[in-house]
């Protein structure tokens, strides 16, 4: 099917795609930035789940966490591949995410299984928004990368739902914990896009 017959109003449905202005990064630079931050994020996710598993691996929620962890490993493998294939410079902050991700996972897990799940829900909500924004920004460009992002976004939404079903919202201090984890995740995204 061709797009030619469709009314021009379709373009108006993409408010986030502002026209490129002088001084804006080139499209290739934008894609490189996306791959860099996504590889960093999936690396951080792997480390969060490793921190959770170090504490809760043998507990009732261990199996659930392990399944999500295995999906994160697959996500990371894909973005590691894209980093190599597209010759994208990885984030210089990987050593920081190595420590911070694990620490976040382990610390929330030590607060209890529900706090671990609250951490998962908060992170995955931020990643859901982040991937939605990227898919939107790509528009019709890079269909393969866009399909990858959309598939991973569906997995992250599933992780969020696993966390909610496991009682994330019943964790002690949920609103504060959730807000802190979200703020940290957004900061990590902001930094990994740039550094």
Residues in contact with Fe ion by the rule CB under 5 A:
42, 45, 72, 75, 156, 159
To the nearest whole angstrom, how small is the minimum distance from the Cβ of residue 186 to Fe ion? 16
Helical segments of the chain, H only? 27-56, 62-85, 94-110, 113-138, 143-165, 174-194
Q: Nearest distance from residue 6's CB to Fe ion, in Å?
A: 33
Nearer CB in complex with Fe ion: 42/125: 42
CB of 71 to Fe ion, least distance (A): 6
Nearest-angstrom CA–CA distance, 145 and 102 = 28
Indicate the residue among 17 and 57 with the shorter CB distance to Fe ion: 57
Instruction: For residue 28, give Cα distances in angstroms to 17, 22, 32, 75, 164.
Output: 15, 15, 6, 22, 37
**Closest to Fe ion by CB, 17 or 80:** 80
**13 touches 63 (CB < 8 A):** no
CB 20 within 8 A of CB 75: no
Backbone Cα Rg of the chain = 18
Q: Quote the least distance from Cβ 124 to Fe ion, whole Å.
A: 5
Q: Could you tell me the smallest distance in angstroms from the CB atom of residue 156 to Fe ion?
A: 4
Distances (CA, A) of 62 to 49, 72, 96: 10, 15, 25
Question: Which residue number, 42 or 113, has a Cβ lying nearer to Fe ion?
Answer: 42
The residue nearest Fe ion at its CB is 75
Of 142 and 156, CB closest to Fe ion? 156
């Amino acid at each position: 099917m061709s797009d030619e017959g469709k009314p021009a109003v379709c373009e108006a449905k993409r408010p986030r795609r502002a026209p490129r202005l002088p001084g804006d990064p080139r499209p290739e630079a934008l894609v490189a930035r996306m791959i860099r931050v996504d590889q960093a994020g999936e690396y951080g996710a792997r480390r969060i789940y490793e921190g959770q598993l170090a504490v809760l691996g043998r507990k009732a929620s261990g199996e659930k966490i392990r399944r999500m962890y295995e999906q994160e490993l697959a996500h990371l493998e894909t973005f590691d591949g894209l980093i190599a294939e597209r010759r994208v410079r990885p984030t210089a902050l990987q050593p920081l995410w190595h420590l911070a991700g694990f620490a976040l996972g382990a610390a929330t897990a030590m607060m209890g299984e529900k706090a671990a799940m609250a951490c998962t829900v908060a992170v995955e909500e931020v990643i859901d928004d982040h991937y939605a924004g990227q898919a939107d920004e790509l528009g019709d460009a890079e269909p393969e990368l866009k399909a990858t992002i959309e598939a991973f976004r569906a997995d992250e939404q599933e992780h969020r739902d696993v966390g909610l079903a496991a009682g994330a919202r019943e964790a002690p201090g949920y609103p504060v914990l959730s807000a802190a984890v979200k703020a940290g995740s957004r900061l990590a995204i902001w930094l990994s896009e740039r550094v």
